[in-house]
Amino acid sequence: MPNGMKIDDSLESWENVKDAEDWSGLLVGNGASRAVWEKFDYPSLYQKACSDEVAHPLQNADQAVFATLQTENFEATLAGLKTSEKICASLAIPHQPIIDRYQTIRAALIEAVQAVHIGWNKLPAATLTKIRDALLPYGYVYSTNYDLLLYWAIMSEPQAKGFADYFWGASCLFDLANVDVWNKATKVLYLHGGLHIYRLADGTTVKKVVAQSGNLLDSFGVPYKGVDIPLFIAEGHADDKLRSIRRSEYLTFAFTRFTEHRGPLVIFGHSLGAPDRHVVNAMQFWSTSQVPCVAISLMPDTAKNVIARKADLHKTFHKLNLTFFDATTHPLADPTLHVNP
């Protein structure tokens, strides 16, 4: 925080902020998803899978596997179990308990995702169009959400016109040797993966595309190219998330692009809290010559809470010029986007 700066409880309207800079990037957090579907407001997918809100919650033995691996990440846990099963089979070691744990964890995950995610058929076309239009002005959109809302919005126009997601190789393959964007487009990067992204057995990453976008959710849990579960990080601590990012060529590329971002950035619907400390750490290396201004959305609150939040963010990002705006005034918080459960 600059010396002598007085922090008050005022929040700018987005209308007053949007033309103040040539905003080159947008970081989207879970607040954007909750603005559409309130069921996205949950502590973690792991906790949901452990609860009685799903028909077949994680059993004690399942939770013990997560604890042993020191993670709450489903994709990493199921991959570990699958590897263990193959090793035991090759050594003629009985491994039915491993198969059982794989099946129960997979079932709990499928039920947890279905318990929180909005169905494609519940989303009005106008909602997807409004989300799409809100993303188009930015050069880069970085999302830490694993859900399909942004993907569905982008795909609401044929061939995702105006957007580029780096999955333009053969069979929608991500190719690190082919990441140059030659035409003007909003580049979209899913920092924590997504329900439409799969890491195949050979380590390559692909985007799953079906005739109807809704089928992506309907077919969740159905093996795709031999892989049961998409590449997504929906829970866990920041260190856990960073480990998962480093295991994936695509996620590493996406996160590196974020750490190397240039130009003014807007942050919407993001708490920038402990679970996303890796995102905060990346931003702390930015300088004003790299990112001259960051506009952060805050929800209206008591004067005391707003001042405290602003002071904390100034302390965290003391190298950056911060602007704070009322989250409810941004297009991604348009009340008409909300869909009742």
**Nearest CA to 275 among 305, 254, 244?**
244
DSSP-H helix ranges across the chain = 14-17, 30-36, 45-50, 60-69, 74-90, 96-116, 125-135, 149-154, 214-218, 238-246, 249-259, 277-284, 303-316
Q: Nearest Cα to 197, choosing from 161, 162, 232, 245?
A: 232
Phi, psi of 116 (to 5 degrees): -105, -25
Nearest to 16 by CA among 326, 314, 299, 306: 326
Average pLDDT by stretches of 10, the chain with 341 residues: 72 96 96 95 88 93 93 87 94 94 92 91 94 96 96 86 89 93 93 94 89 74 87 80 91 97 97 92 93 96 96 94 97 96 85
Indicate whether this model's pTM tops 0.75: yes
Burial 256-279 (b: 16+ CB within 10 A, else e): ebbeebebbbbbbbbebeebbebb
DSSP-derived secondary structure letter, 288: T
pLDDT at res. 170: 74
